[in-house]
Amino acid sequence: MEYAWSDKSLNLRAVLPGVSEKDVHVSVQNNQLVIEGERKAPEGLEKNAFTQLAYGKFQTMLTLPSGLDVEHLKCRLNNGVLDIEAPILEASKPKQIRIETGSDQKAVAA
């Protein structure tokens, strides 16, 4: 799984070759992102056939950092690539703090 931060969201990517949208499910449970599904073997693949691609059920979990809006996750599956966008809550985004200069500066004796 790959991930990257932007100014607005945490973006995750999982590569799921041969998995359709009906065979994968994404959920959030107790601040854990859960991706589960099944990669079904293609018809005609014999039991003793050699393949480098694993078939069957799979599940992975990732602890999400605090400050994400898990109510508005977006998932997109395209050509075996699952992209998940988790927006950052406004309260968690960096805020610029204005620095004031004092005109009434007093000297401090050392």
* CATH code of 67's domain: 2.60.40.790
pLDDT grade, residue 21 (50/70/90)? very high
Euclidean distance between CA atoms 75 and 12, whole angstroms:
9
Residue 44 domain-assigned (yes or no): no
pLDDT for the residue numbered 79: 93
Task: Let me know if 62 is exposed, middle or buried by CB neighbors in 10 A (0-12, 13-18, 19+).
Answer: middle
Q: Average pLDDT of 22-35?
A: 95
For the entire predicted model, the pTM comes to: 0.76
Euclidean distance between CA atoms 68 and 91, whole angstroms:
10
Q: Domains in the chain: how many in total? A: 1
Residue 99 domain-assigned (yes or no): no
Residue 100 domain-assigned (yes or no): no
Residue 73 domain-assigned (yes or no): yes
Residue 47 domain-assigned (yes or no): no
pLDDT for the residue numbered 86: 96
Domain that holds residue 34: 2-39+53-92
pLDDT grade, residue 43 (50/70/90)? confident
* Listed range (3-12, 52-61, 94-103) with the worst mean pLDDT: 94-103
Q: Average pLDDT of 79-101?
A: 89
Residue 19 domain-assigned (yes or no): yes
Residue 11 domain-assigned (yes or no): yes
* C-alpha closest to that of 43 among 70, 18, 78: 18
pLDDT for the residue numbered 73: 95
Q: Cβ(33)–Cβ(84) under 8 Å? A: yes
Q: Across the strands, what pairs with 68?
A: 88
Residue 20 domain-assigned (yes or no): yes
